[in-house]
């Protein structure tokens, strides 16, 4: 912001709500990145992190961010009420900033990326496959329509601030390689993970032993410890956010989706109070709204471990209300017995330890890794009738498949009920849902071949990777990039992405 604002903008800052209420023309949509970049010198005078050598174009400080983007459940918006710099809306009038040098001014350049097929869709964003046409590297690109972010700009700034802290610092944590914007959309470029989700990989194996589960949990816990040591709480750990980098047998497993994560400085002794996450993996203190922090990730790891050992989660109930009550009470059992007969008591004790209801008594990520089950995973097994370690896969797949059938039936009933409700719903709510889908479809259709992109940090950072000049911007290069995306898709489909 600061002196980069136009005179037309300055006439509106006296009434910040006008900017939120009025719909902008496409050319006037504001950047949620701008406040983060413009405020960096005011807070600590530091530039971007030096740990990430990949293309980067921002210098947002971690303190310039807020809640979440494009994730499943974020119930309540109390995060915007917290007393921190990044909770202030981007449109709120800020103290005047000193003039910024030319190297820190926003810069617009031709785009170096070409996007391919859509990989998935979240609440506010879609994820597309992308390729950088100079380097030939593939990325997963989160695309967010600016119209959907009006009034929620802090969510994007928070995710970027979190990812700048953890990117490139651990092999089992996804990296944010680049972020920029066009006139209509925001783009965040991450590692492209083509190896599939955790549980899909397990079900595709020929066998699966308790020691395999322990090794997986230990690897994930190491990454969780790194995230916590970086001053971050993830808040949405679940199997769907644990992805394999490639389809290779020894591929790294990656923690992804930091949309609900928050920066939590230990010295501030702050606690988060909003209700957010995926219900079956949320800790009791989140529902109680008594304040929560890093222990919620340890609780989620306990749920994940239970799931990896049995194929279903410990607090499965017929309704979300019953599920919430069971979580608050810590009401779960290792039943039915047939699913747990081949699981050691050491494993069950580890689950109990992580699912300690009192967060003050719950172990830290570092302490959890010292538990016997993780410290010596090769000794954890129950012998089957042949005297060999028991294979958990048959029971795990049986339980998982049964639960999937139940969820499919429940989803059908919910869909019918939802249609009946929508038929009688407030027309404004129906219009809101239609607009949401329309804006996401618009984002999916944007062709980066024909647009310029803006980096808010300035020309110096952008030109390191995106000053593509005449010889890098011809039709042949774009055609080769599109051809490479097609080759990548075929390799993944054929299972040849190693």
Residue 236 a catalytic site member: yes
SS3 261: coil
SS3 292: strand
Distance, in Å, from the CA atom of 73 to the CA atom of 236, rounded to the nearest integer, reads 9
DSSP H or E run through 404? helix 393-423
Contact 140, 193 (CB under 8 A): yes
Beta bridge partners of 74: 276
Contact 205, 215 (CB under 8 A): no
- 142 annotated among ligand-binding-site residues: yes
Q: Tell me how long the chain is.
A: 498
Tell me how many helices (H) and strands (E) the chain has. Answer: 17, 13
Phi, psi of 445 (to 5 degrees): -90, -15
Distance, in Å, from the CA atom of 488 to the CA atom of 212, rounded to the nearest integer, reads 30
Give the contacts of 7 (CB within 8 A, at least 6 positions apart). none
Give the contacts of 331 (CB within 8 A, at least 6 positions apart). 315, 325
Distance, in Å, from the CA atom of 455 to the CA atom of 438, rounded to the nearest integer, reads 26
Give the contacts of 305 (CB within 8 A, at least 6 positions apart). 213, 217, 347, 350, 351, 354
Q: What is the DSSP string of 115-182?
A: EEEEEEE-SSEEEEEEEETTT--EEEEEEEEGGGGTT-HHHHHHHHHHHHHHTTS-TTB--EEEEEE-
Give the contacts of 213 (CB within 8 A, at least 6 positions apart). 305, 308, 309, 347, 392
Query: How far, in Å, are 226, 336, 404 from residue 234 at the CA level?
Result: 11, 31, 26
| Structure tokens, 285 | 């203190």
Nearest to 64 by CA among 94, 34, 85, 95: 85
Distance, in Å, from the CA atom of 400 to the CA atom of 397, rounded to the nearest integer, reads 5
Options 236, 252, 257, 297, the catalytic residue:
236
Nearest to 324 by CA among 274, 281, 271: 281
Nearest to 349 by CA among 316, 315, 374, 312: 374
As annotated, the binding site for ATP includes: 142
Annotated binding site: 142
Residues annotated as catalytic are 236
């Amino acid at each position: 912001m600061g002196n980069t604002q136009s005179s037309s903008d300055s006439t509106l800052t006296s009434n910040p709500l006008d900017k939120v209420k009025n719909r902008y023309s496409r050319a006037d949509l504001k950047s949620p990145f701008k406040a983060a970049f413009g405020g960096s010198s005011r807070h600590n005078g530091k530039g971007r992190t030096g740990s990430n050598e990949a293309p980067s174009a921002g210098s947002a400080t971690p303190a310039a961010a807020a809640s979440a983007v494009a994730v499943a459940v974020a119930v309540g918006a109390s995060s915007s009420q917290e007393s921190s710099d990044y909770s202030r809306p981007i449109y709120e009038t800020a103290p005047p900033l000193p003039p910024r040098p030319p190297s820190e001014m926003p810069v617009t350049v031709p785009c170096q990326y070409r996007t391919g097929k859509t990989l998935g869709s979240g609440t506010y964003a879609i994820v597309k496959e992308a390729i950088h046409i100079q380097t030939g590297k593939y990325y997963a690109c989160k695309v967010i329509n600016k119209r959907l972010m009006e009034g929620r700009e802090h969510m994007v700034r928070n995710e970027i601030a979190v990812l700048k802290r953890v990117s490139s610092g651990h092999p089992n944590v996804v990296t944010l390689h680049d972020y920029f914007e066009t006139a209509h959309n925001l783009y965040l470029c991450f590692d492209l993970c083509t190896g599939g989700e955790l549980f899909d990989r397990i079900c595709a194996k020929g066998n699966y032993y308790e020691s395999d589960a322990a090794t997986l949990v230990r690897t994930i816990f190491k990454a969780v410890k790194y995230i916590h040591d970086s001053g971050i709480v993830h808040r949405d750990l679940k199997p769907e956010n644990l992805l394999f980098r490639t389809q290779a047998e020894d591929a790294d497993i990656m923690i992804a989706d930091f949309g609900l994560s928050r920066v939590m400085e230990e010295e501030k002794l702050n606690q988060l109070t909003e209700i957010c996450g995926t219900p079956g993996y949320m800790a009791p203190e989140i529902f109680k709204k008594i304040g929560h922090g890093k222990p919620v990730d340890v609780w989620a790891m306990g749920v994940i471990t239970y799931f990896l050992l049995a194929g279903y989660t410990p607090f499965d109930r017929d309704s979300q209300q019953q599920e919430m009550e069971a979580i608050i009470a810590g009401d779960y059992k290792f039943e039915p017995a047939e699913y747990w007969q081949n699981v050691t008591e050491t494993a069950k004790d580890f689950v109990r330890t992580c699912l300690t209801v009192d967060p003050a008594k719950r172990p830290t990520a570092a302490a959890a890794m010292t538990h016997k089950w993780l410290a010596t995973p090769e000794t954890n097994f129950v012998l089957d009738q042949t005297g060999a370690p028991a294979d958990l896969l048959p029971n795990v797949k049986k339980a998982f498949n049964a639960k999937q059938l139940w969820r499919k039936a429940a989803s059908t009933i919910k869909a019918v009920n939802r249609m009946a409700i929508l038929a009688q719903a407030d027309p404004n709510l129906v219009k809101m849902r239609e607009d949401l889908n329309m804006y996401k479809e618009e984002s999916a259709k944007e062709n980066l071949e024909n647009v310029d992109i803006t980096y808010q940090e300035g020309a110096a950072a952008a030109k390191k990777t995106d000053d593509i000049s005449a010889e890098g911007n011809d039709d042949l290069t774009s055609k080769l990039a599109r051809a490479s995306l097609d080759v990548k898709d075929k390799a993944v489909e054929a299972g040849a992405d190693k």
